[in-house]
């Protein structure tokens, strides 16, 4: 039975801003578009807009877009060198990493699971994904991960549910980032940079990365570059480490995602604690600091003690209490202090302590992985670095517990102090003092006296010795500086035990308590140590990427390179290069562990509907599938009307000739064939001057951009002929044995 196909137009739309990039999702009927303003939008097949994303900074241009293989995350590369990972469902930024130079290409690939041969008479069942974490990650049994970008209200964080697009992965995938300065960054799950390849070193000259491909089993990387003389080369790099240690990279990548999420979550929590503290304490601290500058050193404590013990109030103190602090101000402050302290305690207990413990757990599991040296040492995990991070995490948790004790103590002191101070202001204003305020118990007097001891302090602010003021001990934990008031640990049984047993105190399993370190400083140390763990693989893995071969290809001048590549099998990859403006080169590379072969051919196209010698201008080229090459053609003269052509590679492959892999391909005599004579073929005139296009074989769609880049036409590439009876029928017979999707080039 024969099947007729045609190219059917679905949409014809104008856009307000010039489009510069278009990329289809292979999993969903969505296309990502970027314009010259640096904006990225997501459109459905019906051309309804899903969402639009503004550039993170002004004057940024989008240079590359790539979809994660499952279609849930979009990678966007900018000319600033930043690569943003955006959740497709909610448009939220998941990761922002800088590659250090302008992004030129992005490629997101996933390990291909080989299908097992099954008996024809048995029921075909979908093979479940590999469970790489079966014996590694048991945390979900009793550890709840923080919700990404969740609100930090401790009361509702348990009930908030949101998909974590980075953790929800079942197969290894790699984001390959090419830069203008000749580097390729390899990122597991798009965020864990496990390796950085300097292609300039392999070539011995400066170059710009134009395209990055990796074969199906992730063992070889093909990097297409253009050097300073505009020579195009394909550099083949051995990446066997990804094939042999797939499980290890997957597990390390998952741990990276979990740890980075926890660090980000804790950062937001600490910021929230700091803002809560500042909102109710800075105002009164500022007023007391102004008062402290008016009196001699030690005068603040002396004035308040005189008022407490003898009822004597200095003129400066009286002016401060009645004019600056005021009765209403103290009432308002008293109402908020207890609530604010309670909120900080909730954040410390339910967020900082809980997820700090989660972080310690994942670090401990990571250390267990590193101890399997035959598996994880080769990818760069070092037990010493992870142990240092665990020690830092423990010190961070101890510091959070210390803050809890400070809060418990401060709440008691604050209540006693402000109840007494409120009575003192009423006394100075000759107002009646309520009986519950007038009476001060002996214990309250002790609390107030202890509180007043910390009132005077000469601090170092901004590098200058100036008079400072500290009324409240909690705030010093929320600055990146040593503690000014060191907590008194006398009487603590554990501290006493350690001081009496130095052999235990210095044991590596004992978590250290750094008395002078603030919570912020300790957390920064923890974050740095976690970064060091995952920076190590970039150095360790560098030696495992070796140069296999370099193909000296073509020189098309300084213009932008239009090319496409596709995996045919584990051992074969196809490239096509557009030579402006009327030829394409097809390069077939067959590479095994012991052999490297290449075949190449050159093609041009004449009028498809007539037998004429006029050669088409080729605007763009892209692989539609393993045996179909999509071309965007346009007449050179007269009315510029572009044509879509589905070029069958099965016939074209017969025209390829074997080439010397050590020779310059551009100097090799290649047959120049007329691709218009190959049958069967499918083409359509789109009745519009065009500039570029984007095709998707899995979604069977194509989008063509007009010459002025403000108009698009959307096409279904494999429509049934009866669905488009009124269209210009310029299709030919596609036989059953030439599938648009499944067949591959032999």
DSSP of 532-567, one letter per residue?
HHHHHHHHHGGGG-EEEEEEEEEE--SSPP-EEEEE
Structure tokens of 78?
Answer: 């900018």
Summarize the confidence of residues 11-34 as an average pLDDT.
93
Residue 453 near residue 467 (C-beta atoms within 8 A): no
Q: How far apart are CA 283 and CA 329, in angstroms?
A: 10
Angle at 508 between CA 505 and CA 512, to 5 degrees: 55
Max avg pLDDT among 508-512, 625-629, 725-729: 625-629
Please say if the pLDDT value at position 154 is more than 50: no
3-state secondary structure of 431: coil
Q: Residue ranges per domain, the chain? A: 1-16+562-746, 250-541
Summarize the confidence of residues 209-225 as an average pLDDT.
94
Residue 298 near residue 456 (C-beta atoms within 8 A): yes
Give the per-residue SS3 of 253-286.
HHHHHHHHHHHHHHHHHHHHHHHHHHHHHHHHHH
Please say if the pLDDT value at position 696 is more than 90: yes
Structure tokens of 38?
Answer: 């640096």
506-512, long-range: CB < 8 A, 24+ apart:
508/387, 508/391, 511/391, 511/394, 511/395, 511/397, 511/398, 512/391, 512/394, 512/395
Confidence of residue 383 (pLDDT cuts 50, 70, 90): very high
pLDDT averaged over every residue in the chain? 82
Q: How far apart are CA 105 and CA 695, in angstroms?
A: 17
pLDDT of the residue at 436: 60
Q: Tell which residue, 413, 317, 397, has the closest CA to residue 360.
A: 397
For the chain, percent of residues with pLDDT exceeding 90: 51
Phi and psi at residue 147, in whole multiples of 5°? -75, 130
Summarize the confidence of residues 5-29 as an average pLDDT.
92
Residue 551 near residue 587 (C-beta atoms within 8 A): yes
Q: How far apart are CA 593 and CA 90, in angstroms?
A: 44
Please say if the pLDDT value at position 151 is more than 70: no
pLDDT of the residue at 292: 73
3-state secondary structure of 347: helix
pLDDT of the residue at 438: 57
Q: How many residues does the chain have?
A: 746
pLDDT tens for 35-69 read 999 999 999 988 889 999 999 999 899 999 999 99
In b/e form, how buried is each residue of 162-197, taking b as 16+ CB within 10 angstroms?
A: eebbbeebeebbbbbbbbbbbbbbbbbbbbbbbbbb
Summarize the confidence of residues 368-377 as an average pLDDT.
92
Angle at 540 between CA 535 and CA 542, to 5 degrees: 100
Phi and psi at residue 454, in whole multiples of 5°? -95, 10
Please say if the pLDDT value at position 730 is more than 70: no
pLDDT of the residue at 393: 95
Q: Between β-strands 596-604 and 672-674, what pairing exists: parallel, antiparallel or unpaired?
A: parallel
Give me the DSSP letters along 480-532: SS--SS----TT-HHHHHHHH-HHHHT-TTSPP--TT--HHHHHHHHHHHHHH
pLDDT tens for 399-438 read 999 888 888 877 777 777 777 777 777 777 777 776 666 5
3-state secondary structure of 458: strand
pLDDT of the residue at 463: 39
Residue 182 near residue 206 (C-beta atoms within 8 A): yes
Angle at 106 between CA 104 and CA 112, to 5 degrees: 155
pLDDT of the residue at 198: 96
217 alpha-carbon distance from chain centroid: 24
Please say if the pLDDT value at position 394 is more than 80: yes
**Which residues fall within 8 angstroms of residue 184, CB to CB, at 6 or more apart?**
176, 177, 178, 196, 197, 199, 209, 212, 221, 223
Q: How far is the first Cα of the chain from the last one, in angstroms, to the nearest whole number?
A: 24
CA-CA distances (angstroms) from residue 530 to 342, 369, 712? 31, 15, 47
Say which range, 101-110, 227-236, 489-498, 600-609, has the weakest mean pLDDT: 489-498
Residue 86 near residue 76 (C-beta atoms within 8 A): yes
Q: How far apart are CA 290 and CA 420, in angstroms?
A: 21
pLDDT of the residue at 460: 37
Summarize the confidence of residues 228-242 as an average pLDDT.
95
Summarize the confidence of residues 224-232 as an average pLDDT.
95
Please say if the pLDDT value at position 485 is more than 90: no
Give the single-character DSSP code of 351. Answer: I
Residue 73 burial (10 A CB sphere; 0-12, 13-18, 19+)? buried
CB atoms inside a 10 Å sphere around CB 538:
15
Confidence of residue 651 (pLDDT cuts 50, 70, 90): confident
CA-CA distances (angstroms) from residue 210 to 346, 551, 563, 626? 52, 14, 9, 21
Beta bridge partners of 187: 175, 193
């Amino acid at each position: 039975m024969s099947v007729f196909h045609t190219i059917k137009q679905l949409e014809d739309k104008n856009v307000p801003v010039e489009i510069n990039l278009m990329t289809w999702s292979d999993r969903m009927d969505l296309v990502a578009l970027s314009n010259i303003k640096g904006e990225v939008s997501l459109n459905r097949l019906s051309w309804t807009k899903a969402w639009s994303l503004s550039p993170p900074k002004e004057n940024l241009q989008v240079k590359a877009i790539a979809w994660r293989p499952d279609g849930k995350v979009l990678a966007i590369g900018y000319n600033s060198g930043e690569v943003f990972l955006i959740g497709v469902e909610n448009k939220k930024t998941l990761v922002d990493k800088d590659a250090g130079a302008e992004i030129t290409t992005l490629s997101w690939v996933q390990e291909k699971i080989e299908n097992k041969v099954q008996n024809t008479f048995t029921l075909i069942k979908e093979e479940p994904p590999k469970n790489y974490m079966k014996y590694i990650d048991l945390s979900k049994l009793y550890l709840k991960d923080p919700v990404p970008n969740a609100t930090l209200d401790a009361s509702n964080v348990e009930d908030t549910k949101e998909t974590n697009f980075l953790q929800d992965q079942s197969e290894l995938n790699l984001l390959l980032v090419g830069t203008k300065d000749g580097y390729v960054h390899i990122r597991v799950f798009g965020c864990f940079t496990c390796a950085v390849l300097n292609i300039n070193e392999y070539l011995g000259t400066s170059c710009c990365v134009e395209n990055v491909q990796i074969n199906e089993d992730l063992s070889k990387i093909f990097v297409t570059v253009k050097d300073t003389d505009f020579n195009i080369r394909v550099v083949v790099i051995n990446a066997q480490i990804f094939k042999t240690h797939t499980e290890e990279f997957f597990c390390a990548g998952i741990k990276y995602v979990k740890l980075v999420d926890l660090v980000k979550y804790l950062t937001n929590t600490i910021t929230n604690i700091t803002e809560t503290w500042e909102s109710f304490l800075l105002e009164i601290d500022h007023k007391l600091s102004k008062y402290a500058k008016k009196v001699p050193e030690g005068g603040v404590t002396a004035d308040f003690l005189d008022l407490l013990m003898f009822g004597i109030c200095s003129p400066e103190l009286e002016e401060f209490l009645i004019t600056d602090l005021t009765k209403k101000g103290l009432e308002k402050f008293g109402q908020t202090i207890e609530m604010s302290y309670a909120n900080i305690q909730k954040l410390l207990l339910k967020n900082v302590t809980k997820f700090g413990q989660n972080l310690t757990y994942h670090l401990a599991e990571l250390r267990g992985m590193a101890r399997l040296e035959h598996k994880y040492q080769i990818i760069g995990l070092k037990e010493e670095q992870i142990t240092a991070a665990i020690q830092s995490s423990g010190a961070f948790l101890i510091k959070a517990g210390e803050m809890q004790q400070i809060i418990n103590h401060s709440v008691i002191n604050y209540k006693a102090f402000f109840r007494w101070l409120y009575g003192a202001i009423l006394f100075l204003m000759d107002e009646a003092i309520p009986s519950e305020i007038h009476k001060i118990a002996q214990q309250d007097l002790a609390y107030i006296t202890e509180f007043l001891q910390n009132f005077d302090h000469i601090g170092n602010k901004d590098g200058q010795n100036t008079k400072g003021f500290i009324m409240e001990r909690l705030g010093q934990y929320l600055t990146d500086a040593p503690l000014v008031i060191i907590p008194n640990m006398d009487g603590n049984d554990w501290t006493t035990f350690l001081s009496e047993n130095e052999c235990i105190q210095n044991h590596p399993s004992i978590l250290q308590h750094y008395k002078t370190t603030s919570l912020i400083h300790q957390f920064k140390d923890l974050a740095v140590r976690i970064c060091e763990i995952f920076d190590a693989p970039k150095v360790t893995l560098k030696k495992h990427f070796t140069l296999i071969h370099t193909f000296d290809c073509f020189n098309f001048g300084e213009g932008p390179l239009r090319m496409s590549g596709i995996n045919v099998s584990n051992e074969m990859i196809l490239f096509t290069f557009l030579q402006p403006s009327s030829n394409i080169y097809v390069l077939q590379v067959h590479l095994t562990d012991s052999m490297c072969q290449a075949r190449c051919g050159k093609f041009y196209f004449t009028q498809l509907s007539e037998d004429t010698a006029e050669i088409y201008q080729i605007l763009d080229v892209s692989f539609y599938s393993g045996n179909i090459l999509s071309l965007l053609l346009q007449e050179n003269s007269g009315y510029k009307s572009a044509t879509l052509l589905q070029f069958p590679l099965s016939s074209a492959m017969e025209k390829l000739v074997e080439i010397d892999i050590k020779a310059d391909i551009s100097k090799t005599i290649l047959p120049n064939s007329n691709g218009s004579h190959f049958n069967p073929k499918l083409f359509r005139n789109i009745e519009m001057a065009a500039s570029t296009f984007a095709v998707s074989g899995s979604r069977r769609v194509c989008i063509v951009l007009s010459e002025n880049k403000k108009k698009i036409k959307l096409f279904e590439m494999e429509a049934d002929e009866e669905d488009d009876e009124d269209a210009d029928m310029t299709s030919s017979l596609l036989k059953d044995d030439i599938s648009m999707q499944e067949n591959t080039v032999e």
